Amino acid sequence: MKAPLTRFAYVIVFLIVVTYAFFAYPKGMHAWQEKQNQIQQMEKRNAVLAQEVERKKEHVNRLKDNPAEQELEIRKRLKLLKPDEKSYIVGEPGGAATH
């Protein structure tokens, strides 16, 4: 008869400690909700970054397979022209548009 009472008392004490820790430990429920929100935001950000990585991998694979696209990418990034080509810069001097 004494064992079930002892077990019941341990369960009650455990529940009280857990409840106290949940509500009293650094801001309790509010801190827990804040952490959950941060986790969700980070998971969304990770998904966006994973998509970006996948797009870049596809771009690299296209560049590997296509020498003409490689040349265009290099020329665009390094702003190179062939000897018979001309480049025209359109826009206002200094890059600032006035309204």
pLDDT in tens, the chain (99 residues): 577 888 888 889 989 888 877 777 666 677 778 899 999 999 999 999 999 999 999 999 988 999 988 888 888 888 888 888 887 888 887 755 555
Cβ atoms of 81 and 87 within 8 Å: the answer is yes
Residue 4 lies in a domain: no
Residue 44 inside a domain? The answer is: yes
pLDDT for 32 equals 78
* Amino acid at site 78: L
Residue-level pLDDT at 40: 97
- Does 11 fall in a domain? no
Domain count, the chain: 1
Q: Identify whether 46 is part of a domain.
A: yes
Q: Note whether residue 99 is domain-resident.
A: no
59 in any annotated domain: yes
- Whole-number pLDDT of residue 36: 93
- The backbone region for 95, taken as left when phi is positive above 0, alpha when psi lies in -120 to 50, beta otherwise, is left
pLDDT value at residue 49: 97
The tokens describing 13, both together, are: 């004490």
Question: How many angstroms separate the CA atoms of 94 and 2, rounded?
Answer: 89
Q: In terms of pTM, does the model score above 0.75?
A: no
* Boundaries of domain holding 69: 29-75
Distance CA 30, CA 18 (A): 16
Decide if 5 is inside a domain: no
Is residue 18 domain-resident?
no
